[in-house]
Structure 1
Amino acid sequence: MKTQILDHKQVQKILRRMAYQIYEKNFDRKELVFAAIKGQGVEVAKLVQTELSDISKIKISLLEIDISKDKPAFNSAKVNLSGTKLAAKTVILFDDVLNTGRTLVFAMHPFLQEPLEAIQVAVLVDRNHKSFPVSADFIGISLQTTMQEHVSVTMKAGKISVYLV
């Protein structure tokens, strides 16, 4: 059974709030780097980028992290850093759903070798089932779910929705 938790209009409000939170925490930055997990993480990052561009003049670079969400492993995250200067910059990792934290831990790996100012994490949905020491700095919605339930973020015809499956 599929139950809609958030429709597109609700998600838009949440993403706008997240953009304001990101701006409040990073108002003194001239540039931010959004590094997003391929798939829905990239879609969430792009939507937040649009919202943030409406409220601030912070320059935003978007990087895509290619990683297997089913079986993430050490050194499995691939991101093209050529042409992107990360020294003394803040990187915000984006994903659609934070479940155990495994994917985000491994997605951080390519950035840990760079002289960054900070790494922050933004997720649309936090399920609160942490197995790894990662938490989100910016959370759209926090859901208490069972381990058997699944949260699905879908994008159809430019509209994003969240479902509990």
Structure 2
Amino acid sequence: MTLKNNVILTHDDINNKIRRIAYQIYESNIDENEIIIAGIASNGIVFAKKLKDMIETISKIKPILCEVHIDKKHPRNEIKTSIPASNYINKSLVLVDDVLNSGSTLIYGVKHFLEVPLKQFKTAVLVNRNHKKYPVKADFKGISLSTSLHEQVNVILEGRRFGAYLD
């Protein structure tokens, strides 16, 4: 994708958002030894890895990465995680995605993790759009954005230059 006039977040903006969100996660889990950072595949897990790395840099908390597989076209299908549920019982967990659009992916992810007793449950997104169909909110967000329903937000988190674009 080429750089266009519809840049929402630049590479530096995204790195600053990652740092800020990592500090917010740390502050809300300051007494924890370890937390679960659960990233929704595919871009959510990339964002989660970057948050994990930053949390390791700024704190002594051990973040454990968990990849969450949700069929975004059929979110009621079985949700799979890269670690067993027994690994996050009574732990603090942050569910991470790159963009919060309608809220359906995040709400089904929330439902999955609520089947296990957690100490604390939060959500984090890089871009929070204001078109939710479901009553779900991001506890930690990089940017809130009002867009039309026909516009798409594309986030690139891999490679040498990150960016968020409005198409």
**TM > 0.5 fold call:** yes
**Further displaced range: 108-117 or 87-96:** 108-117
User: Shift in Å at residue 141 of structure 1?
Assistant: 0.5
Partner Cα distance (2:20, 2:134) in 1? 26
User: Shift in Å at residue 2 of structure 1?
Assistant: 6.9
Match of 2:141 in 1: 139
Match of 1:63 in 2: 66
Q: Is contact 1:123-1:136 (8 Å) kept?
A: yes
Superposition TM-score, scaled by structure 1 size = 0.92
SS at 1:125's partner residue? Answer: strand
Partner Cα distance (1:4, 1:70) in 2? 27
Partner Cα distance (1:86, 1:124) in 2? 23
Q: Is contact 1:79-1:110 (8 Å) kept?
A: no
Partner Cα distance (1:46, 1:88) in 2? 22
Match of 2:121 in 1: 119
Aligned Cα root-mean-square deviation (Å): 1.7
Q: Is contact 2:85-2:116 (8 Å) kept?
A: no
Partner Cα distance (2:43, 2:162) in 1? 9
Superposition TM-score, scaled by structure 2 size = 0.91
Alignment of 1:45 onto 2:45: no
Using the aligned pairs only, state the percent identity: 41
Match of 1:104 in 2: 106
Partner Cα distance (1:143, 1:83) in 2? 33
4+ residue stretches of structure 1 with deviation over 3 A? Answer: none
SS at 1:122's partner residue? Answer: strand
Alignment of 1:36 onto 2:39: yes
Q: Is contact 1:42-1:95 (8 Å) kept?
A: yes
Runs of 5+ consecutive residues of structure 2 not aligned to the other structure: none
User: Shift in Å at residue 111 of structure 1?
Assistant: 1.6
User: Shift in Å at residue 155 of structure 1?
Assistant: 3.1
Alignment of 1:7 onto 2:10: yes
Amino acid at match of 1:137: D
Amino acid at match of 1:112: L
Describe the shift of the 1:119–1:163 C-alpha distance in structure 2 as closer, same or farther (beyond 3 A). same
User: Shift in Å at residue 70 of structure 1?
Assistant: 3.0
Alignment of 1:80 onto 2:92: no
Match of 2:30 in 1: 27
